[in-house]
Each structure stands twice: as structure tokens, then as C-alpha cells.
Amino acid sequence: MILRLAAILALVIHAFGAERRPNILWLVGENLEHELGCYGAKLVQTPNLDRLAAEGVRFTRVFSTSPVCAPSRSAFFTGMYQTTTDTHHMRSHRNDGFRLPDGVRPITHWLRDAGYFTANIKTIGERSVGTGKLDFNFANEGAIYESDDWSALKSRQPFFAVVNSHEVEYDIYDRQSAKKERVEWVGEREHPQIATPENVTPPPYYPDHPIVRAEWARYLNSISGMDRRIGWVLDKLRADGLEDDTVIVFFADNGRLEARGIHWCYDSGLHVPMIVRWPGKRHAGSVNEQVVSVLDVTATTLAIAGVPRPPLMQSRDIFADPPRDFAFSARDRIDETTLRIRSVRDARWRYIRNFTPGPTFTSLNRYKEKCFLIMPLMRELHAAGKLSGPPADLMAVRGPNEELYDTDADPHEIRNLAADPQHHETLLRLRATLDEWILETKDRGEMPEPAGTVAPFEKEMHEWFGTPAWAEKPR
């Protein structure tokens, strides 16, 4: 099948060879929601992405397929839900000989067959602009990119280049010192200090506490730092005379780097920005409010390149295909923490189903405990009976359960309406929609991993933590 598709690609390229195909540049942000000036956010400085939005299309309802990086990246790099391709568990299939299903390939392989030069950019001159991150839950598909050299792009057009942002992310840290010292954010010492503990307003699902305010300010300032680094890329693209021939797609792999963001199927963990700048093709400064899955960057990118969408691909072209009514997301094992959560989002409502018994937000995960100072703080306040309202409710959530949120009236998703008789029809509609998606996409989440796969992660967790009195092992 792959050979036949490659032959079709060659015919398409021959037929349209006279038409110049655009370069394509993905700017992939880490772990953020809509905290950009162009989305109305305050206390951030994002002139470069704001300019990109003014020159392109800004999307307002884009949702990741997973609230954590590796499953999300495995999905949008293949155009297939991670739950369909068995790439849904965090840090899986790195050394077990796993291969993607027949007909499923990384997007760079399709583009390379179509004559695109592919590059994963880390540096421009002496400046570090990208991490070179892959972080896929597959490792045996051959070389993903051909180069990491920015200077090669001008002579190798058309190109597909990716810059994976350093921010918004925690820096590399020593495990032992991280127990006692504050973990830094990447580039924190150079970030503009616009947000401060005194002027920020964190979400209401956290207690009003100095630690919470300080962490929220650090998060916002990291976004300003990300924009500064992205500006270096955009400036160089212009200086090299490539700007007018390059379609730029900016998006984030998943939602916010915060304790109730990343890892969780709320908007805070799944709602991401997306901007597409396509010179001469799309109305500059326009806003698109349709429901979009981050999965759709795959088919959209292939369409921009003039590459036919492979028959099995679940991704859609956001500019040509009918708009989605729903965006679907999934959370599965993240390192040692085994949970199965599924979610569906339409333009207004979010429905979440947790299949796993036991604690949710309070489930033990060493990454969250090491990096998020809010986690030990909330445990301490909860144990002392000092939490009330949404923070106390968050600490008490246990599965299996259902959650339903009206995101128009409740953008922070703190009022669960699943048991409200007034919204029973909405609950039934979204419950059935999710059931249908699970069946149609052959969701593999109900199939347990071998015990030996999870054991090394659990061993590492216990070696690092010991066994805290508050720790309740997820089941």
C-alpha cells in the first residue's frame, strides 16, 4: 500500500510541478493555553505571535488529543489518534520493537516522498531556538528528519521545518537537589518579569496563597520568554527572504504547565492556541471559531503541500473539510500513574469520563510532585482542613466518575453539572458521542499493559519518594 501511495504522490508532483509549492514551518509551543496577547491575555509580552495572528488566521477552539506531550505528539505527527495506534501511554514503545500499524507513517515521510526537505531546527547561528524534541511513543520508523541545519533551508526548498520551543517547560534538574530546591523554568533568568505574585489572578481551583501566585507569575513570564525566542526565528525567516514563500503554523502540543492543566482532560490541559499564516491564501487577521483537533494539523499540512491524505488518516483539513462537531481527547498511563480518562468537547460543553477507581488529581506522580510546588502545598492545606470551595472539591475527586461543564458559563470548569437534572439531555448526548468514538476509533485504552511494562516506573517512583503516608496507589 505504501508503495502505491508513493507512486500516486509522484504523479501528483509531476502533474503540478509547474506550480511552486510553499515551504511549511511548524512552531510548536510547549504546555500553554490562550495566555497570548492576541487572545486577550494580560501580563504577558507576546508581540511576535500577536503579529503572526494579525497576519494570519487565529483559531479559538483547538483541543489536543492528549493532555501530555508524547501521546499528543504521536497523534499529530501521524494524523491518527494515539488510542488507535497504541501510542497512548506516556513513554511507551521506546525499546520494545513496536512498529506503527500498516499505512501509518510520520508526516515527514509523506512529505519527503513528495519532494520536501525536512528539518528539526535547534539553532540559528549561535542562538538556541529549538529543543529538537521528538518524544514519540514509537522509535523504529526510520529517520524522522533529514537535517537540523537552518542554513540548509534556503537551498533546499520546498522545506518542512519544525521548531520545538524551549518554553513553556521546566529545566533539567538534579533529582536529589530537586527535593529541596525550587525547580527552574527553562530560560527563567532571562524571561521578562511582567507578571508578579502581586498582580496575577490564578484560577479559582487553587487556594489564594503566595506559592500559587508565585508559580502562576512564573508560568506567564515563561510565555513571554517563548515569544522572544520565536521572534528570533521569524526575524531570520524574513532576513533570509523566505517569509513570503512559507506557511507558518503555530500551535501547542497540550495545555498549561500547571498542576490541574497538563495530565488532565479539562480545557486547562487540552485547550491550545493555533495560528496559521498563509501568505496570499488566507485572510489576514481573521478569527476561526470552529472546533478543531490538534490532530488536524497533519492533514492540513499535507494539503498545503499538495499531498493527498492517506486513506486511513483520521486527521482533517481545517480549510477544506467539513468542520468538526466534537474534539476527542484521552489520558492514559503517565509514567507510573495508571488512569484511563476520556473526554469530548463541542463548542460549549465538556464531558469527561474517568474509568479508573481511586483518586484523580491527588494520584501520586513523581513528575508532578517534583515540579509543581502547588501539589505538596494543597496536600498540606487539605490535611489541615484549610481548603474549601473548588480547591477542596478538586482534592476530593475520585473515579470512576463523570463530569460535565458548561464552558461558556463556567470557563474554569469548577461546577460539575453531571448530576444536574436540567442538563441530563446534554449528558446523555455527549456520553453517547464518546461511546461511539471509542468504538469507531478502536480505542485500545481498555487493554491493560503487561505488568512488566509499568513495574520500572513504579520502582523509580518508590526509590525517589519512599512511601509517603498520604500516597494512595492508583488502581
CATH number at residue 172: 3.40.720.10
Q: For the residues of 391-450, what is the DSSP string, one character each?
A: HHHHHH-EEEEEEEEETTT-TT--S--TT-GGGHHHHHHHHHHHHHHHHHTT--TTSPPP
Domain range for residue 319? Answer: 2-465
- In a domain, residue 113? The reply is yes
What SS3 class is residue 345? strand
Query: What total number of domains does the chain contain?
Result: 1
C-alpha cell at 331: 489520558
Name the one residue in this structure whose C-alpha cell is 516506573.
457
- In a domain, residue 475? The reply is no
pLDDT of residue 229: 98
- In a domain, residue 389? The reply is yes
Distances (CA, A) of 391 to 206, 259, 395, 412, 448: 5, 12, 6, 12, 32
Which helix H or strand E contains 261, and what residues bound it?
none
pLDDT of residue 178: 45
- In a domain, residue 471? The reply is no
Is the pLDDT assigned to residue 278 strictly greater than 80?
A: yes
Span 111-124, mean pLDDT? 98
Is the pLDDT assigned to residue 187 strictly greater than 90?
A: yes
Helix residue ranges, H only, 90-146: 107-113
pLDDT of residue 458: 79
Span 402-425, mean pLDDT? 98
Cβ count near 455 (within 10 Å): 11
Provide φ and ψ at 315, rounded to 5°: -70, 155
Span 72-101, mean pLDDT? 96
- In a domain, residue 376? The reply is yes
Provide φ and ψ at 124, rounded to 5°: -125, 110
Closest by alpha carbon to 459, among 337, 362, 336?
A: 336
pLDDT of residue 407: 98
pLDDT of residue 450: 85
C-alpha cell at 320: 477544506
C-alpha cell at 173: 534538574
pLDDT of residue 71: 98
Q: pLDDT > 90: what percent of the chain?
A: 85
Instruction: Give the pLDDT confidence of 155-175 residue by residue, as tens digits.
Output: 999 999 999 999 999 986 544
Closest by alpha carbon to 404, among 383, 373, 425?
A: 425
Classify residue 309 by its DSSP letter: P
Span 126-150, mean pLDDT? 97
Span 15-37, mean pLDDT? 87
Span 144-161, mean pLDDT? 98
Span 134-159, mean pLDDT? 97
Would you place residue 15 in the very low, low, confident or very high pLDDT band (cuts 50, 70, 90)?
very low
pLDDT of residue 456: 84
Residue type, 358: G
pLDDT of residue 466: 63
Instruction: Give the pLDDT confidence of 337-383 residue by residue, as tens digits.
Output: 999 999 999 999 999 999 999 999 999 898 898 899 999 999 999 99
CA dihedral angle for residue 46, residue 29, residue 40, residue 53, rounded to 10 degrees: 70
Closest by alpha carbon to 58, among 276, 217, 271, 255?
A: 276
Of the two residues 150 and 173, the one the predictor is more confident about is 150
C-alpha cell at 194: 511582567
- In a domain, residue 328? The reply is yes
Would you place residue 264 in the very low, low, confident or very high pLDDT band (cuts 50, 70, 90)?
very high
pLDDT of residue 246: 98
Is the pLDDT assigned to residue 181 strictly greater than 90?
A: no
C-alpha angle 362/364/366, rounded to 5°?
A: 130
- In a domain, residue 472? The reply is no
* Average model confidence (pLDDT) across the chain: 92
pLDDT of residue 63: 99
Contact 76, 270 (CB under 8 A): no
C-alpha angle 85/73/248, rounded to 5°?
A: 130
pLDDT of residue 467: 55
Span 402-410, mean pLDDT? 98
Span 123-150, mean pLDDT? 97
- In a domain, residue 474? The reply is no
Contact 351, 344 (CB under 8 A): yes
pLDDT of residue 9: 52
